[in-house]
Chains A and B, each alone.
Chain A
């Protein structure tokens, strides 16, 4: 964080982009990061990185109706498009209408529906509007923060004249970027495909976006995205001092940068092991294996899963697989959201003796070959699969298998392509969902929201698309429906303290019953050229704000110190 007096205006921030952007059109764009997103001002509301709460952004004021479904906004009067026209309620209204049209196929489409019910909106005046959701959920705030306005005099006009096709035909990469009308801090100047995109300041943005000293944002005049499709090549560019920001993803990249800095060859700052990333790896057992009732029986037994959890050596995983840069995970809340993690969730920590005890209580005894057998002589042996493209998960699987072997559990590992893994875990056919072909698997989950980070419906619901252990629509254990009902309740709770309390109950159920055995999260690291200033203060950089959501820096408040 910089003192306001230090800030210098101007300069170019040199960034790297791993693949070409697809379009200037915000309604057809699917890639991430997308060029339209870079030119957006943001939503009606945004998150305050200090408190984690939503606060008005493009809106001046927000009120929530008593039933929690209707949100009313008054827009800031200074809002302007990059062509100088005012941003009004009409811009929002036509944007929502286009998003909600299935024929346009915009990626935000599904956010404007809840099942069959549609989100509705109303113009209350030139600068005020309301949005009504079919149900009261706290995620609605998140949805509102995603809905950015697009110019009604461009897209709205095309939509009224030619419908969805009119909107889709606008703003492909062949158009002259001079004609773009955007709301954000920067606007595309020039795009040479495969080489680079340059953006320059939108002077109207600073009219309503000022820093605490009253200076118009952004400080930086130009952004430059160099298209470098290979991560090693982009590291080489950073090491050569040709780009400003780099996010090392492993120990090797980190040490190359640190070595160059130490040898005085590179003038950079490094923030290593800042906090966990917003993703986690997890291990789970298949509860829907009707063709193999013996294994299905084991996998559905809570004691079995508790014993398996006691064979997961998370310290070794962090040490050996992640090179010390990682965090143990225990519930569906990623380690990133440390203040959301419930107390005492590490109930079934690494404890091989405890695992043996539990397995003995289930009736397992060691056979002559050293492998445990149940009372009918079935060997405790199963296959653990994960995807062949991911070395990290393969190593996690092997570590688990090694520890399991020591107590007489035979775990075979098998690595298959990612898509095949997904098809195996989540077959489309309803009948196949009751007899899935695998024993156990490791996969990951990433992203999601932070307003209720305990999870999403499709993960916590029986038979939900992201429910890995139970893909049958019928809940098998009572705790499953308890957990889902609690989740539905948490969605309706706007009070963050009460929401956390419900999340704690959900996590207590997860920690006891272990549908998923959460393993580890990787750590994130950042490096930047010393000429770039204005990173978040260290105390809020850990752990949430150095996440995949925000990075270590708010580009709007960064500045360049050319020496």
Chain B
């Protein structure tokens, strides 16, 4: 196991460097730079532009700019944001990262809490009414993009508020009415705000995870050793959870590593639709403004987490699957 981990760690280095170079080239290949956006405003004088250019090092060669960022990144300095008054990138991305994580965790708990029982039910009673009903639901869940569900939900909540006065939080992370809330009140408030976006976010993974798990379970339960165990009179609970489930869950475990970068990369357009202060809106803005260090550093961090996540997946797989041994 240890040599495997060392080998994986060594592989990390060139992968990481290559990913950084690639992202940097892509960003620089886009026309213009951070300062281009000021050109339409006659109040920004050429002298002011020149000053900013020097301040952000945009007057240096591309290679030099990359090298400065890269060496700083290695030392743990993620650089500064151009469009946020030179705030350190880390200060800028840490709070939205945490916010994104809240949504991802809520929706994860929700999706596994629903997907696993549904899959087990579906696998043990295939083609029953509920199983069929859920299949239909899954098609919708997978087929319709979540931002559309989001807009639909906002419209419904708005109509609800306008007609009945019921105030289910529509957007944002907390409500403005509570002044100096206790930690529990604050948690409750955030939970209420996160509820609708995380349910919508969970819809897709409930649909896909439950389908995959159901299929896996059905396949495992059809295996000879399961039939033998059943014939020998092994009780249902043990059969299901110790033998069938453990084998069926492997593909999901393999996918767990992918969750680590998901924490960082945010919950996508759902954050935009619900004005959730996560990482996606910040990154979209950074792309628009060519705020290069914000983009570079976040991508670099995601790359590292992706690689580490994959390693963790491998370890987890070894833990649950006795056939896998890294030696």
Across-interface contacts of A416 in B (CB, < 8 A): 31
Report the bound CA distance from A22 to B33 in whole Å.
20
Tell me if B277 and A194 are in contact (CB < 8 A): yes
Residue of B nearest to A332 (CB): B42
Interface residues of chain A, those whose CB is within 8 Å of chain B, are: 14, 19-20, 22-23, 25, 28-31, 102, 105, 107, 109-110, 113, 172-174, 192-196, 224, 226-230, 232-234, 236-237, 239-242, 260, 265-266, 416-420, 422-423, 426, 443-449, 455-456, 458-459, 465-466
- Given A228-B275, A458-B46, list of 5 further CB < 8 A pairs? A19-B285, A105-B51, A237-B275, A447-B43, A448-B41
Contact of B36 among A14, A173, A418, A444 (CB under 8 A): A418
Q: Mark B140-181, 1 if CB is under 8 A from A, else 0.
A: 000000000001001001100111000100111110100000
Task: Name the A residues within 8 Å of B272 (CB-CB).
Answer: 229-230, 233
Q: Which residues of A contact B173 (CB under 8 A)?
A: 194-195
Note all chain B residues with C-beta closer than 8 A to A236: 154, 158, 170-171
* B205 interface residue per 8 A CB criterion: no
- Assign chain B's interface to a size class: 35 or more
Q: Shortest beta-carbon distance, A207 to chain B, in Å?
A: 27
Q: Does B281 contact A229, Cβ atoms closer than 8 Å?
A: yes
Q: Are A239 and B83 in contact (CB under 8 A)?
A: no
> In whole angstroms, what is the CA distance A426 to B33 when docked?
13
- Are A230 and B275 in contact, with the CB atoms below 8 A? yes
- Given contacts A195-B172, A449-B43, A458-B42, are A229 and B277 in contact (CB under 8 A)? yes
Complex Cα distance A110/B66, Å? 29
In the complex where A232-B273, A419-B290 touch, is A14 in contact with B176 (Cβ < 8 A)?
yes
Contact of B171 among A28, A237, A266 (CB under 8 A): A237
Is there a chain A Cβ closer than 8 Å to B95's Cβ? yes
How many angstroms from the CA of A113 to the CA of B51 in the assembled complex? 13
- A20 surroundings in chain B (CB, below 8 A): 84, 277
Please state if A446 and B158 are interface contacts (CB–CB under 8 Å).
Answer: no
B63 at the interface (CB under 8 A from A): no
Contact A22 B275 (CB under 8 A): no
- Report whether B85 and A22 are in contact in the complex, using a CB–CB cutoff of 8 Å: yes
Contact across chains for B86 and A28 when beta carbons are under 8 A apart:
yes
Tell me if A420 and B171 are in contact (CB < 8 A): no
Cross-chain contact B96 with A194 (CB below 8 angstroms): yes
- Using A22-B85, A31-B83, A419-B290 as known contacts, say yes or no to A110 and B32 having CB atoms under 8 A apart: no
- With the chains together, A471 CA to B155 CA distance in Å? 50
Distance A23 CA – B47 CA, assembled complex (angstroms): 24
A459 touches B42 (CB 8 A): yes
A417 touches B31 (CB 8 A): yes
Smallest distance from the beta carbon of A436 to chain B beta carbons, Å?
Answer: 14
User: Do the beta carbons of A227 and B51 come within 8 Å of each other?
Assistant: no
Interface pair A233/B32, CB less than 8 Å apart: no
Q: How far is the CA of A116 from the CA of B290 in the complex (A)?
A: 31
Whole-angstrom CA separation of A13 from B174 in the bound complex? 17
Residues of A within 8 A of B277 (CB): 20, 193-195, 227, 229
Bound state CA distance, A196 and B173, in angstroms? 10
Determine how close the nearest CB of chain B comes to the CB of A282; give it in whole angstroms. Answer: 11
Flag if B176 contacts A242 (CB, 8 Å).
yes
Task: Tell me which of B48, B99, B172 contacts A228 (CB under 8 A).
Answer: B172
Q: Which B residue sits closest to A14, measured CB to CB?
A: B176
B67 → A minimal CB distance (Å): 23
Check B36–A230 contact: CB distance below 8 A.
Answer: no
A425 to chain B, nearest CB (A): 9
Q: Is B30 an interface residue (CB 8 A)?
A: yes
The answer to whether B162 touches A445 (Cβ under 8 A) is: no
Please state if B48 and A226 are interface contacts (CB–CB under 8 Å): no
Residues in B whose Cβ lies below 8 Å from that of A192 = 174
Q: What are the residues of chain A within 8 A of B55 when measuring CB–CB?
A: 105
Say what secondary structure dominates the interface of chain A. loop
Q: With both chains docked as a complex, state the minimum distance between the C-beta of B268 and any C-beta of chain A, in angstroms.
A: 13
**A261 shortest CB reach to chain B, Å:** 11
From known contacts A23-B85, A236-B170, A449-B43, infer whether A419 and B158 are also in contact, taking CB-CB under 8 Å: no
Asked if B39 is an interface residue, CB under 8 A from chain A, the answer is: yes
**Contact of B87 with A by CB under 8 A:** yes
CB <8 Å contact, B41 and A447: yes
CA distance A418 to B39 in the complex (A): 11
- Per the 8 Å Cβ criterion, residues 17-57 of B in contact with A are 30-33, 36-37, 39-43, 45-48, 51-52, 55
Measured in the bound complex, the distance between the Cα atoms of B56 and A105 in whole Å is: 11
| 16 A-B pairs whose Cβ atoms sit less than 8 Å apart in the complex | A14-B176, A19-B285, A23-B87, A105-B55, A110-B45, A228-B275, A230-B273, A233-B171, A237-B172, A239-B162, A416-B31, A422-B36, A446-B41, A448-B42, A465-B46, A466-B42
| Cβ B42 vs Cβ A447 within 8 A | yes
Contact with A along B241-277 (1 / 0, CB 8 A): 0000000000000000000000000000000111101
What are the residues of chain B within 8 A of A22 when measuring CB–CB? 84-85, 87
Q: Which residues of B contact A29 (CB under 8 A)?
A: 85
Name B284's closest neighbour in chain A (CB-CB).
A229
Q: How far is the CA of A445 from the CA of B38 in the complex (A)?
A: 10
CB <8 Å contact, B85 and A30: yes
Measured in the bound complex, the distance between the Cα atoms of B285 and A230 in whole Å is: 11
Q: Given A28-B85, A226-B172, is A110 in contact with B48 using a C-beta cutoff of 8 Å?
A: yes
In the assembled complex, the Cα of A419 lies from the Cα of B31 at a distance in Å of 5
Q: Which residues of A contact B274 (CB under 8 A)?
A: 233
Shortest beta-carbon contacts, A-B, top 8: A419-B32, A194-B277, A420-B31, A233-B275, A22-B85, A265-B162, A456-B42, A233-B171
CB distance from B104 to the nearest CB of A (A): 16
Within 8 Å CB of B41, what residues of A? Answer: 445-448
For A233, the chain B residues whose CB sits under 8 A away are 154, 170-172, 272-275
CB of A419 within 8 A of CB of B42, answer no
Which residue on chain B has the smallest CB distance to residue A106?
Answer: B51
Q: Contacts of A444 on B, CB cut-off 8 Å?
A: 40
With A417-B30, A423-B31: A265-B39 Cβ-Cβ less than 8 Å = no
Nearest residue, chain B, Cβ from A417: B31
Question: What is the CA–CA distance of A229 and B83 in the complex, to the nearest angstrom?
Answer: 15
In chain A, what residue has the closest Cβ to B45? A110
Residues of A within 8 A of B95 (CB): 193-194
Contact of B33 among A239, A241, A419 (CB under 8 A): A419
Give the distance in Å from the alpha carbon of A228 to the alpha carbon of B175 in the complex: 12
Contact of B32 among A109, A195, A420 (CB under 8 A): A420
Closest chain-B Cβ to A395's Cβ sits at a distance in Å of 19
Contacts of A193 in B (CB 8 A): 95, 277
How far in angstroms is the closest Cβ of chain A from B121? 37
Cα A242 to Cα B33 with chains together (Å): 37
Residues of A within 8 A of B162 (CB): 239-240, 260, 265-266
**Least CB distance, A333 to chain B, in whole angstroms:** 13
Known contacts: A193-B95, A233-B274. The answer to whether A109 contacts B87 by CB under 8 A is no
